[in-house]
Amino acid sequence: MLEQRGIRKGVEVLVRNPEAPNLPARKAIVIRTYPRPSRWFVVRYESGDIAQVEETQVTTMFEEYKKGIF
């Protein structure tokens, strides 16, 4: 599913916090993906923090532009 959405190393994504859905999404860069069928990958936030996130927490910039939010 990651490949179908265009999520791979170096792609800029927006990450939502599932524990605090009211907070805005944070920009991050994908630095590592795992082989199929994994839905997890590692991102680096603009602040320098690194986190492992699940696919459901992420929206790609392409998906945002497609919605017309930006």
Report the pLDDT value the prediction gives residue 3, as an integer from 0 to 100.
Answer: 79
What CATH number corresponds to the domain at position 11? 2.30.30.140
Residue position matching structure tokens 């959405």: 5
Would the pLDDT of 70 be above 80?
A: no
Nearest 5 degrees, angle CA 59-CA 14-CA 22?
95
Would the pLDDT of 28 be above 70?
A: yes
The CA distance from 28 to 11, in Å, is 8
Report the pLDDT value the prediction gives residue 63, as an integer from 0 to 100.
Answer: 80
Maximum distance among all Cα pairs of the chain, rounded to whole angstroms? 31
Higher-pLDDT residue of 19 and 36 is 19
Q: Tell me, what amino acid is at 55?
A: E
Boundaries of domain holding 36: 2-67
Number of domains in the chain: 1
Q: Which conformational region is residue 6 in: left (phi greater than 0), alpha (psi within -120 to 50 degrees), or beta?
A: left
Rounded mean pLDDT of 23-34? 93
Its pTM surpasses 0.85: no
